[in-house]
Structure 1
Amino acid sequence: MAGRVHVLGAGLAGLSAAVQLVQAGRPVVLHEAAKQAGGRCRSYHDPALGLTIDNGNHLLLSGNRDALAFLRAVGAPAGALTGPDEAAFPFADLATGERWTLRPNAGRLPWWVLDASRRVPGSRARDYLAPIGLMRAGHPRTIGESMACEGLLWERLWHPVLLAALNTDPRESDAALAAAILRETLGAGGRACRPLVAIEGLSAAFVEPALRFLERAGAEIRFGRRLRALEIAGDRVAALAFADGAEALGPEDGAVMALPAWVATDLLPGLDAPQEHRAIVNAHFAVAPPPGSPLLLGVIGGLTEWLFAYPDRLSVTISGADRLLETPREDLAERIWAEVARLTGQAGAALPRWQVVKEKRATFAATPAQAARRPGARTHLANLALAGDWTATGLPSTIEGAIRSGATAAALFTQERSALRGAA
């Protein structure tokens, strides 16, 4: 029988690795320092709101093949992700009051840019050629060095989309990462960029089905186990030192370390990994969205960037939000609510129950310098692999990247093509 593989960390990268491993017939032990799984992509009950919310709003797209394959593999409930039947992205400009909906056509040939009713008001078809510079950019280059970062379409489309995808000022962000995102979404046609949201929560969609799948497959799941050190002998990890004692690894055993970059570098000296991070701020308001509210609304000209309409609340996401970390939460709630109230036809309404969540290290900084520090799944230790959205997935810090990284790490132990996508 093949040796056990210890998966260290039960975020989406760790869950993906564990699922891939048990599918390949490897015994798995999943260790998690917290009392629950999910890491930065989980749901919890917030007493201030009296509601269950996610610890960060996340948008997926229909072209996120690894994420969708993961949901199918673990038997996620039908409707775990909700979205419109076509690629449609409503926008509102707070400064001008204009509203429009971006509607890419389903196929790869982007004829939609020739139809003024489908594109950003005031834009021309040729304006949409700007990202070609990203596709041709040599490495390493920034977006600012690869395309024009000014003009109406930059302000109303490319800047908000790239900021959301990269969580870093697009002008200083890595052009190759931006190109990868566009290539897998808009570049693949509308079929690949239909917006999808875990309307019942990330835990219900991703985490709980994965845990049930692993339990049925016989995996051991151990919560409250914080890894303190790796005991190394020669070119192998000989034991995992947890707070409650060490666990020896046999000659056929292995480990996947699916921990945050700053934790992994402490445990594995000499590991090259991103050192700079960017914040995200999410604001939640305990008020049901008015009838007809779009599931997702892009917002131009305000503090609000993306407005999510969940059945029981309105939620806002602000990316690259380091500038807001020192702003009092009460001030943020009032400023954001004033914008949300205007956007939803409730101008002047009193501030409802609210919660503001500041995630200081939400993602690695997607600059060329930090992207160059991302390690691959394979390490210098024969029985240790790495996983996480901060590893070299070819994508920014996203759910898709996290799940892809877990499958890639697991494939190093299975000696076969990944069932989700294939080892990169």
Structure 2
Amino acid sequence: MMALLLFGLFFLLIAVGVPIAFSLSISSLVYLIVAGVPFTVIPQTMFAGLDSFVMLAIPAFILAGNLMNAGGITNRIIDFANAVVGHIRGGLGLTNVASSLGFAGISGTALSDTASIGSVMIPAMKKQGYGAGFSAAVTSISSTVGPMLPPSLPMIIIGTLAGISIGDLFLAGAIPGVLLAFGFLIATYAISVKRQYPKGEKQSFSVIGKTFFGAFWALLMVVIILWGILGGYFTPTEAAVVCVVYAFVVGKFVYKELKLKEIPSILLSTLRSTASILLLVGFANTFGWVLVSEGVPLQIANGILSLTDNPIMVILLIILLLLIVGMFMETIAALVILFPVLLPVAESIGMDPIHFGVVMVLALMIGLSTPPLGVCLFVASTFAKIPITRTVKELLPFFGVAMLVLIIVAFVPSLSLFLPSLFE
């Protein structure tokens, strides 16, 4: 009964437009009042959720991404992608997807990918004759590639929750992320050919080389992260700090576009993003404590396993649950609440925790572009200056691709576990 009160109030608050973090906190507070639990549980559980050295990597990676963006990296990645694929039919659409693949190593979040690339690519695509809905759809869905590749904030959260190697999680998401990107490239090309969208001029090798050199320093950040963590030279948190220094040096002295007067605003933006994420994690941890105290995780696990003990059906049921949750809940909150709940179910049917982490992140990423609360969907539609219904219509074939990749990744564990196995 108390669990119904908790969930009922939580979804009611979301429905009336209360932010996820405050929906979690208010519903948890009401539960504590009704159940007669001391309020000291709130600071204790929030602190327990944030008291991790690895969590320090989050503000550092956000700061590194902000420094690289201010240093002109976004345009350089777009220029390189355009030089490589811009001459193909639907070249700007392909450039959009390819830029998301390159930008993934900078931002670590899908939303920042959508905002950074969308602000440049959507107006450019509309100007060249691409449909506004199509431009927004490509930008929104391709941003789901970002959190699959390092530095991925969702992967950091999972590693913190379950004590899994973050380096292994970074590697595990690489092949599924690239597979997802190629799927979107194929869909974008097929639609562009059908609609006869424009293509650009083929660039010479010298131009491609020049644009590659411009994007090289940004792409090298991913190499530094993986080399440092997997080589045992530094922890994920130390890797994030190294990336901050690297981003500052590249932006200031290599690209020479980062101005010292911009640093205060960059730090302020980083503080805001970090505060919102950590506040969300803290409140989600309190909400998760309430769920555990009510025995909800065990009930969900028993509920799924009571329907079927067939591993294939269990995986499909978990995926269905995650897709539904992804439509309504912010990714990090969903991870903090549901990963500890669903991991035992996944392990009971023989899924590796690293493999399950990749599947969960991918499923929740799809939700960022789905109505009613997909944040990437809203941001892309805003840049395109169209209602989200037009974007959703154009997203349908991309949803098909994303679902196909999700099913393949879920049922072919080697796609996620191959790279981590090389570094055991």
Task: Identify the structure with the greater helix proportion.
Answer: 2
TM-score strictly above 0.5: no
Task: Identify the structure with the greater strand proportion.
Answer: 1
TM-score, length basis structure 1: 0.25
TM-score, length basis structure 2: 0.25
